[in-house]
Each structure stands twice: as C-alpha cells, then as structure tokens.
Amino acid sequence: QVRLQESGPGLVKPSETLSLTCTVSGGSITSYYWSWIRQPPGKGLEWIADIYSNGSPYYNPSLKSRVIISIDTSKNQFSLRLSSVTAADTAVYYCARESRDGYNYWFDPWGQGTLVTVSS
C-alpha cells in the first residue's frame, strides 16, 4: 500500500526557512493531490497547502505569503518550504494524500509526522 514519510530538520531558527520533503512509496505520485498539514503541540490540525501531480499548488490564505509547495514526480516526492518562521510555526508536520469521491476530498493515507521546533 502507499506509504508517506516526512523528512527534514527538526530544529529551525527563528526568521529562517523550514524545509520538509515527503517521500511516497508503494504507489505513484501521479494523478493525485498531495497535502501538508500541521498540528502545534496539544492543538488541532491546520491544512497548509496542496499540489497536484502536474505541479498546480493551492495554499491556505493565512500562510500563502510564506509557503511554497513543490513536487518532483521523478523522485516520487513533494516538498514544503515555509519562510520567516517563528515559534508559532512549531508543530508536527504531516504529509498526506488526498483521495476523492466526486467533489469531496479527504486525507488518506498520512505520513507519521515530523516535529519541527522553531528555536534559537
């Protein structure tokens, strides 16, 4: 079955850029939307952005000015860059595949998540 695995630094300094990669295994990255979702410690889930396999991105307006999502179909990977980070960006970051039924989209499967801490 399809598996997702996040990778990237666990510690980022304030004002710097957070960079994460999600590697997809057990299936093709093509013909799907792929998302990044985050969860601050002890809090709820926030959708960050998604990208279709053809490279079309869509961003959460609240983060749009700081986020870039990209995809590399040759490597079966997609990536997240979040600039000018602050302590408020400390969270577990998940990657996930979007599945659909008509116009309804849901997230399944998910990666295991990676904790990114913003601290000097």
Partner 1 sequence: DIQMTQSPSSLSASVGDRVTITCRASQTINSYLNWYQQKPGKAPKLLIFAASSLQSGVPSRFSGSGSGTDFTLTISSLQPEDFATYYCQQSYSKEYTFGQGTELEIK
* Piece of the chain touching partner 1 by CB under 8 A; list 23-31, 55-63, 65-73, 82-90: 55-63
Q: Report the SS3 class of residue 113.
A: coil
Give residue 45's identity as a one-letter amino acid code.
Answer: L
Question: Could you say whether residue 110 binds partner 1 (CB under 8 A)?
Answer: yes
Whose Cβ is closer to partner 1: residue 7's or residue 16's?
7
Q: Report the SS3 class of residue 107.
A: strand
Please count the other Cβ atoms lying within 10 Å of the Cβ belonging to residue 102.
Answer: 5
Smallest distance, Å, CB 104 to partner 1?
4
CB 80 within 8 A of CB 116: no
Answer for which of 31, 41, 54, 61 binds partner 1 (CB under 8 A) is 61
Question: Could you say whether residue 58 binds partner 1 (CB under 8 A)?
Answer: yes
Strand partners of residue 25: 3
Q: Report the SS3 class of residue 76.
A: coil
The Cα 89–Cα 31 span in angstroms is 30
Q: Tell me the per-residue interface mask from 70 to 109 with partner 1, x by CB under 8 A, - otherwise.
A: ------------------------x-x--x-xxxxxxxx-
Residues that bind partner 1 (CB under 8 A): 35, 44-47, 58, 60-61, 94, 96, 99, 101-108, 110-113
